[in-house]
Amino acid sequence: MTFADLDNQLLLQGPALARLTDAEFFDLCQHNPTLRLERTATHDIIAMPPAGSEVSRKSGHLIFQLLRWNYEAKLGHVYESSAGFTLPDGSVRSSDAAWLSAGAYERLTPAERERFPPVCPEFVIEVRSPSDGLAALRRKMLDYLANGVRLAFLLDPAAETATVYRPGREPEELVGFGRSLSGEAVLPGFALDLLPLRS
């Protein structure tokens, strides 16, 4: 077992945190912009170390591909890692990349769009950094599925593995980044080229 196999995140717990409203949690995040904060369904707060520059650079390639596809398809909206979403179970999660359909976006009020909107993205990507515990990331992907994500990719550049998550199916692990991942029916026509994660 290596350090990265552990749950390398700080978990804050307590009754005061459990009583934080959605608005108060949003304000806490705004007052601590240098921290990457998420919230579990039980209102525990997760503080994670920031991603290293290499993971951020590689994630940028993935965001670019998703943005380019979305610009042509005009089917929804793309979000990067600083966007949080309030999921149906009450957790607030952010991913390295997320996509929300135009229909889901239109159902949000302007005020909801300004905070952590109460909606689950249909598609997410998580890129494992050296400081990310794999077990915690796998649990996070399953939480996404339980809350309504229709397709999710967990990418591990160090191991060159891509794990595809779909509702009602076992995760599918693919080895080697000399491939593309299909957006399937969720993102019709989208193919994520994994080669930039090697460089």
Lowest mean pLDDT among 4-8, 49-53, 144-148, 179-183: 4-8
Biggest CA–CA distance in the chain, Å, is: 48
The domain spans of the chain are 50-197
> Looking at the whole model, is its pTM more than 0.85?
yes
Whether 141 contacts 152, CB under 8 Å: yes
* Inter-CA distances, 20 with 14, 17, 28, 30, 41, Å: 11, 5, 10, 14, 12
User: How does pLDDT run across 81-130, given as a tens digit for each residue?
Assistant: 889 999 999 999 999 999 999 999 999 999 999 999 999 999 999 999 88
- Main-chain phi, psi angles of 93, to 5 degrees: -125, 150
CB crowding 4-15: b at 16 or more within 10 Å, else e: beeebeeeeeee
Q: In sequence order, which residues have a C-beta less than 8 Å from that of residue 24 and are 6 or more positions away?
A: none
Q: Does 58 or 169 have the greater pLDDT score?
A: 169
The single-letter code of the amino acid at 52 is G
Distance between CA atoms of residues 23 and 139, nearest Å: 26
Return the pLDDT at 1: 32
- Alpha helices in 32-133, H assignment, sequence order: 53-73, 102-106, 110-113
Both tokens assigned to 155:
């990418």
Mean pLDDT of the chain: 90
- Fold observed for domain 50-197: tt1808, chain A (3.90.1570)
State the pairing for strand pair 123-127/151-156: parallel
pLDDT tens readout for residues 72-87: 999 999 999 889 999 9
Residue 4 has pLDDT above 80, yes or no: no
Closest Cα partner for 173 from 148, 156, 190, 149? 156
Q: One-letter amino acid identity for 101?
A: S
pLDDT at 66: 97
